[in-house]
Structure 1
Amino acid sequence: MGRPNEEVEALLQEYADLIAITGGDAFKARAYEKAARAIGGYPADVSHLDIKGLREIPGVGKSIADKVTEYLRTGTVTVVEERRAAIPAGVRELITIPTLGPKKALTLYEDLHISSVNELADAIQAGELEGLKGFGRKTEENILHGIALMQRAGGRILLHIAMDSAEDIVAELSRVTGCRRCAYAGSLRRMKETIGDIDVLVAADRSRPFMDALSELPSTGEVIAHGEKKTSIRTVKGVQVDLRVLPPGSWGAGLQYFTGSKAHNIRTRTIAIRQGLKLSEYGLFEADGGKAVASRTEEEVYARLGLPWIPPALREDRGEIEAGLRGELPEVVTERDVRGDLHTHTDLTDGLAPLEEMVAAAAGRGYAYYAVTDHAPNLYMQRMTDEKILAQRERLRALDGTRHRMRLLHGTELNIGPDGEVDWPDDFLEGFDLCVASVHSHFHLGREAMTRRLVRACENPHVNVIGHPTTRIIGKRPGIDADWDEVFAACARTGTALEVNAQPDRLDLGDEDILRARRHGVKFAVDTDAHSVLHLAYLRYGVGTAQRGWLTADDVVNTWPLPRLRRFLSKGRSS
């Protein structure tokens, strides 16, 4: 189901890790990491490219192109297999622990002969890492937290991976003769950040053709159960998919029931019971006599219970039932509301596409405005200079308004230093239309110091948005520790927006933090942090996360008309 690009990206990233863990050339490891990112974000399918086409991808030289070709032809790469064989599988498992890098994994193996996650956890608890260079108490705590993150994630997969699989399956089943309706449901429809399995529903008079079709898809690796009402398969990527076929007249009730969540469904069934009704996946019925009263659409089912239709992302029993009964359910932000993207990158720093391509792709999405925010100089590996950023500004000004009249904003992504300082002096920052400021280093400052750091950044009159605020990478890196209520209050006080970063492995802020921040009166920016043309489509995941946080269009600054946005970006510096 996954794109060949993603398979190759994972392979090259693994090879980079294997190089690092065996003490190989750090420059070579970084080259493979860069090539992995470039291929993962490349718009064309790499399986259709020859050596020449592969070498046109940024960061892909002859040696890497040869390995990609070998993998696409044979399914393996000899040098990768050799590196794998040289390292115990348990050590390779160690580097999957969030916060534990290849060098530390190698040290643990060589000095303490630790070669599994369980052995490492036991060694920390027994105090065996004491005195080991580079492994202080804070490091041990971070590793234990990383192990806990990994264990909690279990077999769950990221939202976008599940979405790709689900949409492929829905498209295939929709083509089967007799299909009236087909959709995914469950936690995927609620846009949760990770998914355990995928629920797919079909409305049809006969179930067998769909059960057979799912079992026979090329992407199906294993049939777990094959029945008349439900079939479960595991894809070749290891994702479980559960298919249920419903009578067309029960579509609305079934969609409501299988979307969940469990807690939300308990509340709706309780309301039904109080009204002398019974709610199931087949419909809403009178408890006495069993007469059907609603079933064809979700709106019909909710209305009969005395509720408005509740957007799937809100169905978590976090007050949506009470708000619906009071007539106070928010009109949550939608992708159509978003007028522009305020955090994107080009190949001037670590993006994959040139300025002109990113601008053309943004215009193709119908945006009214679009910001380019390449990295600032304190992220040293990007080698940004004053001259480079000013030259980019000139190119951007020349393009302004030339693509479907889309207005272009020149910005930058600043680095928030340990004391809250940012790149460039005030007079230089004055020339930008907006500044996103993000934490990119020193993730383990104490809570008080981290809070001061973020508050000081908010108080900078040139900082408009705090990018990926907690810095988390889902399942890989925990968020930084800060007094978030103090940070949220500072954002509201200073007119600094918090980002809802739409990168699927970030989704930062997450929904629960959004709910807290919203109570402080904070405004938000739903951005893609796009590093390639393909990433612009990640907006849907940021919007889904914003919906889970109950955000309306008025809460999100990049849904506003440009004059209102510009006033917000001025932070009171000018009228």
Structure 2
Amino acid sequence: MARSNEEVEALLREYADLLLITGGDAFRARAYEKAARAIGGHPVDVARLDAKGLREIPNVGKSIADKVVEFLRTGTMPAVEEARAAIPAGVRELTAIPALGPKKAMLLYEELRISSVDQLAQAIEEHKLRDLKGFGPKSEENILHGIGLLRAVGNRIPLHDAMDVADDIVAALSEVPGCQRCAYAGSLRRMKETVGDVDILVAAEDSAPFMDAFTGLPYTAEVIAHGLKKTSIRTTKGLQVDLRVLPLDSWGAGMLYFTGSKAHNIRVRAIAVRHGLKLSEYGLFEAKSGKKIASRSEEDVYARLGMDWIPPTLREDRGEVKAALEGSLPALLHESDLRGDLHTHTDLTDGLEPLENMIAKAERRGYAYYAVTDHAPKLYMQQMTEEKMLAQRERLRELDRGRGHRDTRLLHGVELNIDADGEVDWPGDFLEGFDMCVASVHSQFGQDRDTMTRRLVRACENPHVNIIGHPTTRLIGKRPGVDADLDEVFAACARTGTALEINAHPDRLDLSDENILRAKSHGVVFALDSDAHSTRDLDHMRYGVGMAQRGWLTTDDVINTWSLTRLRRFLRKKPTDGGR
């Protein structure tokens, strides 16, 4: 389950939101947001720190440290409780809607007594918002779109939150005597960006010890159902987890069945029927005699149906069954194929740790190369200057020269801001000095479709821009992607030799798998990056790999699986061969 860091981070972020809703000091709210981010990304569990140790974390002052100590001691943070009490019921619910900030949520309550998403949707339908200051037809349209996003997510939770739960449960149940196999299945195994519930499978002869251990886990809030074959719980975070215990001989069939997707399973079962067979979670059987044909491994089941084994991330009924029958499935890339990370930050801008720490973690991950890409000056709160950037470059070159036998080569890059008109921060002569440039949209997300498309295409056409970072700017469940003709952007990337980023941060996962598939059809190549702001963030690559696999990508498609020589050739931005 989540470390204390995540719990504290969530509370401090909530407090910052509550301060803004009640018209509190914006700078104070910002201070709590910065402290929340610093604690969330801190490598040491804050439950092990006293007030003095907490104050050593960047952006954590005495007042915040004292609040954290009190929460860790008592389980409550009185300042948050008091702020919650001052907010009318339902107003915080409104702030979860993308495109609706805390001040506007409070205004809606004060002027129209709106305190729920349903009430807000009804008010928009009746055009009641248009007479309010700061609202209009465009605002109504944006808020309705945000409500749609919120409802689409529903009770689903982000992939990484579900993964944390599943990893802990699998580890705990694997220690129960008699466990022969234990793994998670379902949409989590398929690496979908959000998860409705978690499916855990255990192979064992006796199910009772596992069901008892499962319901006795410390983060079990409710036992929904308790049986010998299936038990369901709800965790303290509200996530439903289902445990099934089956015989070892049925492991492969069970994993196939419970991994899904439903559409994939229907397609595979139809093939079984055509062969005179029946497929269930217990095995593949002859329909007439009931004789078991295959069950122990997924490979056996697929092979008996004349198919290659299909990686779980492809099992969405998007052509994978046909490819498996024809022997034409792609050799998907894996995390071990990544030779480097091309988008990371340090505490020179909004990162949480110094350059040296980030490099050391990259070395431990076994990277052949590693790029530092702190923000350029037009992300104004970072206060970047040419002098600071050049000093960082000199330090990076010094570290690179003095590395002796170490294998990780260091690249100096920058994350540029794509202005409203598609221009970037620095002139070409200054950009020439970087090993590589990532360019990203960080503001003015609401531009109309044509303007946003031209903005992104112009950035692609800049001869110094190598990668478009988090291309749609989406935050899952919080902010929709920008409105742009993505096919035109993808075509421009292919034409200019500009890579598109697959941002592995679990709040982004941008590009999505659907957009990866579309971009790949245009001949685009990709950079799979962590966008790390701390050493812990470097481990988010597993989620980006999941998106890349769902997009059918191979090592030829992802530039940071290439050798440094081939990568450098691509970074010279020769569009004729895409760097291949």
For normalisation by structure 2, the TM-score amounts to 0.98
- 1:67 aligned residue: 67
Instruction: Please list the CA deviations of residues 383-431 of structure 1 after superposition, one character each: whole Å capped at 9, or x if unmatched.
Output: 1000111000011111116272210000000000111000100000000
Instruction: Please list the CA deviations of residues 521-553 of structure 1 after superposition, one character each: whole Å capped at 9, or x if unmatched.
Output: 000011000000000000000000000000001
Q: Matched residues in 1 for 2:351 and 2:297: separation?
A: 44
1:453 pairs with 452, 455, 463, which one? 455
Native 8 Å contact 1:230 1:245 kept in 2: yes
SS in 2 for 1:296: coil
Q: Matched residues in 2 for 1:405 and 1:16: separation?
A: 43
Q: Matched residues in 2 for 1:115 and 1:207: separation?
A: 47
Q: Matched residues in 2 for 1:78 and 1:250: separation?
A: 52
- Alignment of 1:428 with 2:430, yes or no, is yes
Native 8 Å contact 2:495 2:575 kept in 1: no
Native 8 Å contact 1:485 1:517 kept in 2: yes
2:494 pairs with 486, 492, 495, which one? 492
Q: Matched residues in 1 for 2:137 and 2:190: separation?
A: 39
- Alignment of 1:44 with 2:44, yes or no, is yes
SS in 1 for 2:200: strand
- 2:144 aligned residue: 144
Q: Matched residues in 2 for 1:572 and 1:512: separation?
A: 27
Letter in 1 for 2:170: V
Letter in 2 for 1:537: D
- 1:33 aligned residue: 33
| Runs of 5+ consecutive residues of structure 1 not aligned to the other structure | none
Shift of 1:108: 1.6
1:509 pairs with 484, 508, 511, which one? 511
- 1:16 aligned residue: 16
- 1:264 aligned residue: 264
SS in 2 for 1:400: helix
Instruction: Please list the CA deviations of residues 285-328 of structure 1 after superposition, one character each: whole Å capped at 9, or x if unmatched.
Output: 11121111111111111111111111000000000011111211
Native 8 Å contact 2:423 2:459 kept in 1: yes
Native 8 Å contact 1:463 1:496 kept in 2: yes
Shift of 1:573: 9.9
Q: Matched residues in 2 for 1:5 and 1:261: separation?
A: 34
| Runs of 5+ consecutive residues of structure 2 not aligned to the other structure | none
Q: Matched residues in 2 for 1:263 and 1:37: separation?
A: 39
Q: Matched residues in 1 for 2:263 and 2:420: separation?
A: 42
1:149-548 matches, within 5 Å, as 149-400=149-400, 402=403, 404-548=406-550
Q: Matched residues in 1 for 2:152 and 2:83: separation?
A: 29
Shift of 1:220: 1.0
The 1:67–1:137 alpha-carbon spacing in structure 2 relative to 1, beyond 3 Å, is: same
Moved over 6 A (4+): none
- 1:79 aligned residue: 79
Letter in 1 for 2:534: S
Shift of 1:116: 2.1
Shift of 1:95: 1.0
Shift of 1:131: 2.6
Q: Matched residues in 2 for 1:5 and 1:545: separation?
A: 26
SS in 2 for 1:202: strand
Letter in 2 for 1:113: R
Q: Matched residues in 2 for 1:454 and 1:337: separation?
A: 29
SS in 2 for 1:537: helix
1:104-119 matches, within 5 Å, as 104-119=104-119
SS in 2 for 1:89: coil
Shift of 1:137: 1.4
- 2:127 aligned residue: 127
Native 8 Å contact 2:344 2:531 kept in 1: yes
Identical-pair percentage: 74
Q: Matched residues in 1 for 2:399 and 2:140: separation?
A: 51
Q: Matched residues in 2 for 1:271 and 1:511: separation?
A: 26
Native 8 Å contact 1:501 1:529 kept in 2: yes
Letter in 1 for 2:548: A
Q: Matched residues in 1 for 2:451 and 2:111: separation?
A: 34
For normalisation by structure 1, the TM-score amounts to 0.99
Q: Matched residues in 1 for 2:302 and 2:121: separation?
A: 49
Letter in 2 for 1:15: Y
- 1:98 aligned residue: 98
Q: Matched residues in 2 for 1:190 and 1:78: separation?
A: 41
Q: Matched residues in 1 for 2:37 and 2:31: separation?
A: 10
Using the TM superposition, name which of 47-56 and 120-129 deviates more. Answer: 120-129
Instruction: Please list the CA deviations of residues 319-378 of structure 1 after superposition, one character each: whole Å capped at 9, or x if unmatched.
Output: 001111121100111001000000000000000000000000000000000000000000
Q: Matched residues in 2 for 1:124 and 1:66: separation?
A: 43
Q: Matched residues in 1 for 2:117 and 2:230: separation?
A: 37
Shift of 1:122: 1.5
SS in 2 for 1:448: helix
Native 8 Å contact 1:461 1:573 kept in 2: no
Native 8 Å contact 1:524 1:555 kept in 2: yes
Q: Matched residues in 2 for 1:261 and 1:14: separation?
A: 35
